[in-house]
Structure 1
Amino acid sequence: MKYLKILLIGLIVALLSACTEVKESEPEIILIPDGFSGRLHVIFNAPNGKPPQYEGNSRVYDIPPSGVLVTQMDANAGWIESDKIQFFSVSTNGDRKPISEVSESTPDNKRAVYFAGLGYSGPVYGCKILNQNFIVGVKEERINEDILLTIYEAIKLKSIDKKLFEGMC
């Protein structure tokens, strides 16, 4: 009986430690073109996409004017503290202005970013793609379905080069 108790306790400890191990993500800097409003898409694991970019130990997602960044980077999976994600509006001359993340206290007329999530979409050119998206703008823009393009609409309407997606599947 003593042997079974020890075995059971050992099994419980092993299971709990396996369940509590969570990978910590790298800090992120998201650079958003000044004046952009709508949904931004970051598409990961594209061999022909933009090479990884870092500032110190932070990943940098330099979003192009199309609002669709296709990158060679893998997704930044795991947990990340909100203060480790920085959003900036970037002018044409490179000046950065911080943009806050949406909260309950965000005024309706303040430009802010809503983190919409990470997931798979597809098929896009025959492949399931891993992508993350954000919504940026004042409240009216963040809820305006006419400017909140899906990944499919953004790729088509923004004329994203099909070659960026080659080799993804």
Structure 2
Amino acid sequence: MLGNYYPNMSLEKGGDLVPLRALANPLRIRIVSLLTGTSMSATEVAEELGIAHASASYHLRQLAEAGFLEQVDEQPPRGGKGRPQRRYRYDPSSGARLDRTEGRRLLYEALSADLSRRLKQATATRMSMDAEVWLDRSVWEEVVGLINQAVALVHDKAGPPRSGDRIKVSMTALLLELDDAR
């Protein structure tokens, strides 16, 4: 599947920029989404996503190295021995530091693959919309602003899986300005 499609994906960070291509894997998209609302260890990520611990650990390290995740060490329980448990969480500042110069096509392919997985799991559709239209620039800017607000709300309010009255949801937003050639 897609994991084999990107065997030589480089995750080297240039300066403070976060390489967009580091997300070009459906599993990594799922991991970043999962860690938007909570911090988790590799064991917890593996259990939640139904993957091998080694795979979770590898992808967590790669995403942290790329700048999408930050490591949060938790001290062992009082009197506990050993090193702190390594936990990760999504770094919301990574979005502002994305290097969008390359990797876009790979990311869109990974998003498409992950969206197919999500559609198979859907129990209800709250809204879907598709349009290729012409809008006044001011209306388009308003639409972009509203979607940005919705995305920020989803990220800000995301929480741990199966806690409280939470439901598992999926939101994908892709707003494109198109070439107007005939």
Q: Above 0.5 in TM-score?
A: no
Q: Per residue, is there more helix in 1 or in 2?
A: 2
- TM, length-normalised to structure 2: 0.25
- Give the number of the structure whose alpha-carbon radius of gyration is greater: 1
- TM, length-normalised to structure 1: 0.26
